[in-house]
Amino acid sequence: MPKKVSEMEEGFVMTTPRSSMQTKTGSWRTFKPVIDYSKCISCAICWSYCPEPAIFLKDDKYTVDYEYCKGCGICAAECPVKAITMVREGE
């Protein structure tokens, strides 16, 4: 949501931490990573390479947070067992 000039701190200084959480970057994505859990060996390489980071361990499974994933494809490139495929959004 845009802020009015009067609601903004001087110099666009952000006084509350974690303000980047408010900017959901998922809409930047053209391709989304899809994990095939039949191949996934839970090695955590995607988790450690994700620059966002938008891959988290959830119920013992590595899961992509699509609200923040920008679709860079590094996880798919790094996955040693080719368990991640980049799928065009909308397909």
Look up tokens 């989304």; give the residue: 32
Peptide bond between residue 17 and the one before it cis (omega within 30 degrees of 0): no
Query: Candidates 12-20, 29-37, 38-46, 77-85 — which segment interacts with other proteins by CB under 8 A?
Result: 12-20
Q: Which is nearer to other proteins, 8 or 57 (CB)?
A: 8
Q: What values do phi and psi take at 47, rounded to 5?
A: -60, -45
Look up tokens 């679709």; give the residue: 71
Map the footprint of other proteins across residues 29-88, applying CB under 8 A.
Answer: none
Residue numbers at the binding site for other proteins (CB under 8 A): 1-5, 8-15, 17, 19-20, 23
